[in-house]
Amino acid sequence: MEVLQYKNLIDGVWQEAACGQTVEIHCPCDGALVSKAPSSQAEDADRAVAAAKRAFEEEDWAFNPRLRSQCLSAWAAAMRANHEHLAARLALETGKPINEARFEVNSSIGYVEYYAAAARTLYGTSTAVEPGLLSVLAREPVGVVAVITPWNYPVTLLMRDMAPALAAGNTCVLKPATQTTGCTLAVLELLDGIPAFPKGVVNAISGRGSVTGAVLADHPDVDMISLTGGLETGQAIMKTAARTMKKASLELGGKSPNVIFADADLDKALPFAVKAIFMNAGQLCTVGSRLVLEESLVDSFLPRLKAEAEKLRPGYCMDEQTNLGPVISQEQMDKILGYIDSGKACSTLITGGYRLTENGLDKGFYIAPTIFLNPPMDAAIVQEEIFGPVLTVQTFKTKEEALAIANGTSYGLASAVWSRDIDKAMWVARRLRAGSAWVNCYNKLLPECETGGYKQSGMDRAGGTEGMLKYTEVKHLCIDFMR
């Protein structure tokens, strides 16, 4: 396997970290070394921010929506032309099955194409307040935006955040997750083939978040920070960003309920329930980790769910037959197994509950799909984000009880309700305390649709029109036409 060496991108130039050190990126499937990237320090972050600030002030990017649209369209086309290469690098660094990696690359291209078109639709308003006096509200870019991306969906979440920031006229400094730096920088390498893209508009520095991420959050020349990550990281970023009063957009953790009534289309709900929790080995902020099931379905639906979970095929990420990959690291695996042990002590284990080691899986970080029945509401496996292939099933008798269970955590990122009775489904959906409430479907994460969190799941929205408007400031212009 070829080990690829990546570099930082600063002001249009690919370069090593100033300290000359690198970080190694290993495949979670077998521990093989797949990539190396710079171990950036504060000096590298400062230079990247300076380049972004220069480009914002000196290039016409902020005031040329046609250029932004053309450049983003060209980037999407380049990603499509290099789809298989990007998917392979993504699979090797995350361990996710190659088919899931292909899906993620396609999803990310969709975001770039959507915001390439949206770049030319940014609008304001005007009002004639009195004769000769016009009040105008104009949308303007924030300035320099720092984008910090996670390791679970590094390509999709890169473009979900960076594409609208660029479309709105901002310049960017990217800090990718250390574990998936290579596949993220591989997307940026495609900019070399787009001469119209002004140098310095997109910059990227790799390295540990405790170093470079902290610098970006506190940097006086960074005007906004956009983070997708865990609750503790979000809290730290928010606290640091407050020192310079920069805007912060945060999508944090989730503990999302998937409510299924007995009158639902169960044949449709079943595969969605399986995929909602076990895709990407459960490493997804919107993962449906809490199945809230009408009590009368326990003896019929639960055995079917168990059987489907046990059919999943773990294996090497590049195997076309694999549909269950490893979790990202030893640390993450140990954390998940700890939650599983706590679940065994307070609830009924339906399936799974152990590390997979047969047929060479012991070289990676594989966990059997795990299902628990009726843990108490205060159990850690119910209240805390596990970020692994662990599903809790809690039962209810009335819609009011279902709603209380669904809203019974400090998170509020996503949710779903299944019922043929649309009045009942909408009654629940409108009362779910979550930024997304899907009805008779799950995880419909589309470029056109806004997502985001209530409560401790964050603030602001990603996707759709709101996902671009958050990267703008509103300026009031008062124009006196009287001579």
**Active site positions, annotated:** 251, 285
Q: Are strands 125-130 and 133-141 parallel, antiparallel or unpaired?
A: antiparallel
Sheet holding 436-439, edge to edge: 348-351, 370-373, 390-396, 290-294, 257-260, 414-418, 436-439
Nearest Cα to Cα of residue 278 among 367, 360, 354, 197: 367
Per the CB < 8 A criterion, the answer to whether 148 and 225 are in contact is yes
- Residue 192: how many other CB atoms lie within 10 Å: 12
Whole-number Cα distances in Å, 468 to 124, 176, 242, 375, 388: 13, 20, 22, 40, 31
Q: Please compute, for residue 416, the number of CA atoms within 13 A of its CA located in the half-sphere on the CB side.
A: 24
Residues 6+ apart with CB under 8 A from 305: 270, 273, 274, 291, 371, 393
Kindly report the length of the chain.
483
CB 438 within 8 A of CB 460: no
Q: How far apart are CA 30 and CA 359, in angstroms?
A: 12
Q: How far is CA 233 from the centre of its chain?
A: 14
Spell out a b/e string for 427-458, using b for 16 or more CB atoms within 10 Å of the CB, else e. ebbeebbbbbbbbbebbebebeebbbbbebbb
- For the record, the structure tokens of 113 come out as 């194409």
Dihedral angle computed from the Cα positions of residues 397, 400, 406 and 410, in that order, rounded to the nearest 10 degrees: -140
| Cβ contact 184:155 at 8 Å | yes
Distance CA(336)–CA(391), nearest Å, equals: 12
Name residue 480's beta-bridge partners: 133
Q: What is the 3-state secondary structure (H, E, C) of 14-70?
A: EECCCCCCEEEEECCCCCCEEEEEECCCHHHHHHHHHHHHHHHHHCCHHHCHHHHHH
- What separation, in Å, do the N-terminal and C-terminal C-alpha atoms of the chain show? 73
Query: From CA 390, how far away is CA 51, in angstroms rounded?
Result: 44
Q: Which two tokens stand for residue 96?
A: 């996710």
**Axis crossing angle, helix 65-81 with helix 98-118, rounded to the nearest 10:** 160
**Residues contacting 1, CB < 8 A, separation 6+:** 32, 34, 92
CB count, 10 Å around CB of 200?
26
